[in-house]
Structure formats: structure tokens, C-alpha cells
Amino acid sequence: MFYYHRGKNVQGKIKRRPWEKLQFDSSKMKSCIAELNPHNMKTTLLTLILTIIALSSSARSFPKDTLRGKNASYHREFILSAIKMRNIQNKDTSSFVYFDDGKQVSEEYWPTSEPKFNSKYPMEVFKDFLTPQEQDQLKTERGILGLLVVLDKNGNIIEIEFTFSKKNPVLSQFSADRFFELETKFKKLLKWDIDNNDKKIKHLKFLLAISISESARM
């Protein structure tokens, strides 16, 4: 999978880096995360490390249950101090990416597809979804909401996996139907331009990191 983060180029576009698994160099990780959230680097680093663990096929097993709702149900996994949520209808739950011919995409592969939104737009979408009371609760809440998105060849999100802190006072209290509403909103509004070279890949996967406090304060 691949990881989007806010870069420093003057155009303000989102840069891309291959998302390496547990072999990811710690110094590179800290540099990447510092660009994401320089004021809360320690908390963000911890959360993203947990996200790596959650997405790695080599990670050990953690306690799980199912959060059931009227419109959707979610597999919920408790990973140290984080929670990972995915719709039980999700089919592509592997952290690996494959070409149409079944061969695994190398970690050195550099995708050229681009999002049709800037780095702040996912935060705006998240804020608009929250009630005024929830926004107030999250204005001083450190950490991120991680979104692992699975794309089709037209740049539409077909599956989402959420990762967030167990201690988050809002997300930890969401019902399954509330998560489904948020998932539906992200699917509707976040789109990608898929480059022809990347169309050889069955499902592109990207990890978005949304700063919770920055979103609530926008």
C-alpha cells in the first residue's frame, strides 16, 4: 500500500511515498510524520506505528469483536492502544497490493495516481460529519484518524478501514451505523485520478492520516 502525507512543495500538493511494512526505517518514518504533525510528533508517531501493525500481515493476533448495526456491521480489533474497524462486507483485507495477473506489487513500486483533493479536504469532510458538540470534544484531542482506502480502476473508494485511539472520546463511542455514514461520506467525496500505469494494479491502496484536533478546529 502507499502513504500520502503533506509535503513541503510550494504548490501544496500531496506527495507520495511507498508504504513499507515493518522494515520501514525509523528515521525516515519520524521525518515523514514530523511533516504531518510537527506539534504532536510523539503522539502521531505512536498512532502510525500502531497503524502499521494493524495493516501488517505479520502482526500477531489481537482481541476482536463485531460491532453490529441496522445498516452495517464492523469487525473491530483492539491493537494495544488503538482500534481498527472495517466493514464486514470488505473483501480485500490484505495489506498487500497485486497486479491483475496475480503478481504482488513490489514495495519499491512508485504509483503515479493522484488524489483529486488537497491535503486539507479529508479533514474538512470529517469535520462536517461531526456534530458541534463532537467538534468541541475533539478540539484538544491528540492523534489521528487513519483511513486505509481501497480503490477501483476509476479512482473510487470501494472499501475503507478506520484506525484510531481507544481513548478517543467520540470515535470510540460511534455506533456501527455512524461509522457506515462516515464511510459512505468519504466514499462519495474522495476521488483519485488513476494513471494508466497504475491501472495494471487490481486495487490501489492508500493510507490517509487525518489530524483529529486540526479537523475539529477548522
Please check whether residue 53 is in contact with residue 80, taking contact to mean a CB–CB distance below 8 angstroms: yes
What tens digit of pLDDT does each residue of 188-203 get? Answer: 999 999 999 999 999 9
What tens digit of pLDDT does each residue of 158-214 get? Answer: 999 999 999 999 999 999 999 999 999 999 999 999 999 999 999 999 989 999 999
Instruction: For the chain, list residues with pLDDT below 50.
Output: 1-44, 46-47, 50-51, 53-54, 56-58
SS percent in the chain: helix, strand, coil, step 5: 35, 30, 40
- Domain boundaries, given as residue ranges, for the chain: 2-217
Query: What is the rounded CA–CA span in Å between residue 169 and residue 174?
Result: 9
Percent of the chain at pLDDT > 90 equals 64
pTM of the model: 0.77
Round the CA-based radius of gyration of the chain to a whole number and report it.
16
Please check whether residue 74 is in contact with residue 67, taking contact to mean a CB–CB distance below 8 angstroms: yes
Provide the 8-state DSSP code for 80.
T
